Amino acid sequence: MANRHTIVLMQTSQNRASRTFMDYESVSQAMDGICGLYERKIKELNPSRRNITYDIADLYSFIDGLADLSALVYDHSVQAYLPYDRQWIKHRTFNHLKKLALPNSR
């Protein structure tokens, strides 16, 4: 899944106008993007804090708190985007962060 174009579809609140999408060159970049959204939200809520830390449960709460979240990942073998749900995104963000923390683990 390294270099598979990924579109993240997100709705932040019940208001349909909050629907948006983010476009990434890979699944890994998409997971970075989702983590970045959460990190920006933490900074917004805690502007005076210099260092911000969080654990996977905090990230999962953020993901679960979104009205909707899914991903479309391009599959070259079928030349189409395949849909993935919130649970898949949570699993992928966990694995992505684990790889960042332990670069030699695969």
Type of residue found at 29: Q
CB-count burial class (<10 Å; 0-12, 13-18, 19+) for 103: exposed
pLDDT at 47 over 70: yes
Span 47-56, mean pLDDT? 87
Q: Are strands 6-11 and 80-84 parallel, antiparallel or unpaired?
A: unpaired
What are 67-101's pLDDT values in tens digits? 999 999 999 999 999 999 999 999 999 998 988 88
Taking the model in full, what pTM does it have?
0.86
The CATH class of 6-101 is: alpha beta
Rounded to the nearest 5°, which phi and psi values hold at 47? Answer: -65, -25
